[in-house]
Amino acid sequence: MILQSLHQLYNRLAEDPQNGLPTPGYSLQNISFCVIIKADGSLIEIVPCRTETIEIGKNGKEKKTVRPLSLLVPGQSKPPGQGLNPCFLWDNTGYMLGFKPEDPKKSEAAREKERIRTLASFDAFKTRHLETETLIADPHFSSVCRFLESWSPDQAADHPMLQEIISGFGVFQISGSLKYVHQAPAVSRWWNEQNTISSAGETSFCLVTGKPAPTAATHDPAIKSVAGAQSSGAKLVSFNLKSVESFSKEQGDNSPVSETAAFAYCNALNWLLARKERRFRIGDATTVFWTAAATTAETLFPWMMSGVPEAEDTATKNRVHDLLKKISQGILGRDDLGDPTVPYYILGLSPNASRLSVRFWHTGELGELITKLKLHLQQLSLVRQWDETNSKNPEPVTPTVYQLLRQTSRDADGIPPLLGGALMRAIVLGTPYPDSLITAVINRIRAEREVSYLKVAVLKAWLIRNHHQLITPMLDETNVNLGYRLGRLFAALEKTQQDALPDLNATIRERFYSSASATPRAVFGRLLRLYPHHLGKLPIGGKIVREKLVQEILDSVQDFPSHLNLQGQAQFALGYYHQRKAFYPTKTKEATVA
Does residue 78 belong to the site contacting another protein (CB under 8 A)?
no
- The only residue of 418, 464, 554, 566 in contact with another protein, by rule CB under 8 A: 418
| Min dist. Cβ of residue 255 to another protein (A) | 4
Give residues 188-227 in contact with another protein (rule: CB under 8 A): 204-205, 207-208, 210
In this chain, which stretch among 81-89, 179-187, 397-405, 418-426 interacts with another protein, using CB under 8 A?
418-426
Residue type at 166? I
- Give bridge partners of residue 189 from the DSSP assignment: none
- The only residue of 147, 360, 576, 577 in contact with another protein, by rule CB under 8 A: 360
Return the number of the residue (53 or 247) whose C-beta is nearest another protein.
247
In this chain, which stretch among 86-94, 185-193, 320-328, 351-359 interacts with another protein, using CB under 8 A?
351-359
| Min dist. Cβ of residue 41 to another protein (A) | 46
Return the number of the residue (418 or 522) whose C-beta is nearest another protein.
418
Within 10 A of 330 (CB to CB), how many other CB atoms are there?
Answer: 12
* Long-range CB contacts for residues 228-235, cutoff 8 Å, separation at least 24: 228/284, 228/286, 228/350, 228/351, 229/351, 229/354, 229/356, 230/351, 230/353, 230/354, 232/77, 233/77, 234/351, 234/353, 234/354, 234/355, 234/356, 235/354, 235/355, 235/356
- The only residue of 199, 254, 378, 472 in contact with another protein, by rule CB under 8 A: 254
Distance (Å, whole) CA 162 – CA 154: 12
Does residue 570 belong to the site contacting another protein (CB under 8 A)?
no
Q: For residue 20, is it left (φ>0), alpha (ψ between -120 and 50) or beta?
A: left
In this chain, which stretch among 108-116, 361-369, 379-387, 534-542 interacts with another protein, using CB under 8 A?
361-369
Is there a cis peptide before residue 221, judged by omega within 30 degrees of 0? yes
Within 10 A of 25 (CB to CB), how many other CB atoms are there?
Answer: 19
> SS3 for 50?
strand
| Min dist. Cβ of residue 212 to another protein (A) | 8
Distance (Å, whole) CA 450 – CA 300: 33
Give residues 125-164 in contact with another protein (rule: CB under 8 A): none
Does residue 554 belong to the site contacting another protein (CB under 8 A)?
no
Give residues 365-394 in contact with another protein (rule: CB under 8 A): 365, 368
Return the number of the residue (220 or 368) whose C-beta is nearest another protein.
368
- The only residue of 38, 115, 355, 446 in contact with another protein, by rule CB under 8 A: 355
Nearest to 312 by CA among 58, 19, 52: 58
- The only residue of 256, 307, 340, 568 in contact with another protein, by rule CB under 8 A: 256
Does residue 432 belong to the site contacting another protein (CB under 8 A)?
no
Give residues 222-251 in contact with another protein (rule: CB under 8 A): 236-245, 247-250
Nearest to 481 by CA among 547, 397, 570, 414: 570
- The only residue of 174, 257, 445, 527 in contact with another protein, by rule CB under 8 A: 257
In this chain, which stretch among 45-53, 103-111, 118-126, 358-366 interacts with another protein, using CB under 8 A?
358-366
Angle at 461 between CA 456 and CA 463, to 5 degrees: 90
| Min dist. Cβ of residue 321 to another protein (A) | 30
- The only residue of 431, 439, 565, 588 in contact with another protein, by rule CB under 8 A: 431
Buried b (16+ CB within 10 A) or exposed e, 432-468: ebbeebbebbbebbbeeeebbbbbbbbbbbbbbbbee
In this chain, which stretch among 164-172, 223-231, 363-371, 384-392 interacts with another protein, using CB under 8 A?
363-371
Q: Tell me if 265 sits within 8 A of 253, measured CB to CB.
A: no
Does residue 361 belong to the site contacting another protein (CB under 8 A)?
yes
Distance (Å, whole) CA 312 – CA 307: 11
Return the number of the residue (96 or 285) whose C-beta is nearest another protein.
285
Nearest to 467 by CA among 556, 574, 330: 574
| Min dist. Cβ of residue 369 to another protein (A) | 12
Residues at the site binding another protein, with contacts judged by CB under 8 A: 1-4, 204-205, 207-208, 210, 236-245, 247-250, 253-257, 350, 352, 355-361, 364-365, 368, 418, 421-422, 425, 429, 431
